[in-house]
Amino acid sequence: MFIDSHAHMFDEKIDFEKIDLSLLDAIIVPSYSMENLDKVLNFCNKHKQCFCALGIHPFWCNNFDLNKYVNTVLSNKCNVYAVGEIGLDSLCEVDYLKQIEVFKKQLKIAEEFNLPISVHLRTKQDFNSFFSIIKNYKIQCAIHCFNGDLEDCQQAVDNGFYISFATNITYKGNKHLREIAVGVPFENLLIETDSPSMLPSCFKRKGINTSANIVYVAETLAKIKNCEVSFIAKKTFENANKLFNLKLKEK
């Protein structure tokens, strides 16, 4: 059994009822814009495997509304398991200072409500900014769809953060990710699909990525870390369960 630590399963491209999710104990479903906060909450209320994360992604942070965001988190506190997807992306068009401002506001909420964060970082600049900002907060963190270098990974592990590998670890061109994954301690490991984007390589770009594909991430990690797929499932289950405080019992 698996936990998918980051998947936008509410996306309308996904026909949720038709997907076989019998291998999944839980899916963390993050919002990314002000417009889909309620949508994600409603979606997670409807599907018992889905656990809600609320956050505004850097791409959509220009219309961040702090009052509305705080009120939504506050009035649904029991059903919110993380602040995410939030982060920094120096390659997107949104002003970087604006991104930092919105990121910090959401970090403050995460700290206040004692919620972990699911964070998007793309470039070396993003990782450097992130590490210098995060040291001022007391927050647990999953670096979603990890795509940094060995040094970033080491720094994250030293901070006790979780490294979440996504389906892109199956891509031929991402040898550097597989090399980095070899050294990530099992205690810091998470897996995710980041659905609906990032279809595993074996699909040859045909179809839509869903949480059902989590098994390909686990298989890739098991191969490079020289262990059983069930061991990857067990460790990442324990880690996600602890980080997001899901209170799931192992079967």
Please report, as ranges, the residues that interact with Zn ion according to CB under 5 A.
85, 194
Q: Which is nearer to Zn ion, 25 or 194 (CB)?
A: 194
CA separation for the pair 66, 43 (Å, rounded):
22
Q: Which is nearer to Zn ion, 4 or 85 (CB)?
A: 85
Question: Measured from the CB of residue 85, what is the shortest distance to Zn ion in angstroms?
Answer: 5
Q: How far apart are the first and last CA of the chain?
A: 8
Q: Give phi and psi for 46, each to the nearest 5.
A: -80, -30
CA separation for the pair 41, 80 (Å, rounded):
8
Contact 165, 144 (CB under 8 A): no
Q: Which is nearer to Zn ion, 36 or 129 (CB)?
A: 36
Question: Measured from the CB of residue 8, what is the shortest distance to Zn ion in angstroms?
Answer: 6
> Which residue type, as a one-letter code, is found at position 52?
C
β-pairing, 24-30 vs 50-53, is: parallel
Q: Which is nearer to Zn ion, 32 or 225 (CB)?
A: 32
β-pairing, 189-191 vs 80-88, is: unpaired
| Token code pair at residue 143 | 């670096």
Q: Which is nearer to Zn ion, 121 or 153 (CB)?
A: 121
Question: Measured from the CB of residue 196, what is the shortest distance to Zn ion in angstroms?
Answer: 10
Q: Which is nearer to Zn ion, 4 or 194 (CB)?
A: 194
Strand partners, 24: 2
Question: Measured from the CB of residue 64, what is the shortest distance to Zn ion in angstroms?
Answer: 17
Question: Measured from the CB of residue 60, what is the shortest distance to Zn ion in angstroms?
Answer: 12
CA separation for the pair 229, 216 (Å, rounded):
10
Question: Measured from the CB of residue 118, what is the shortest distance to Zn ion in angstroms?
Answer: 8
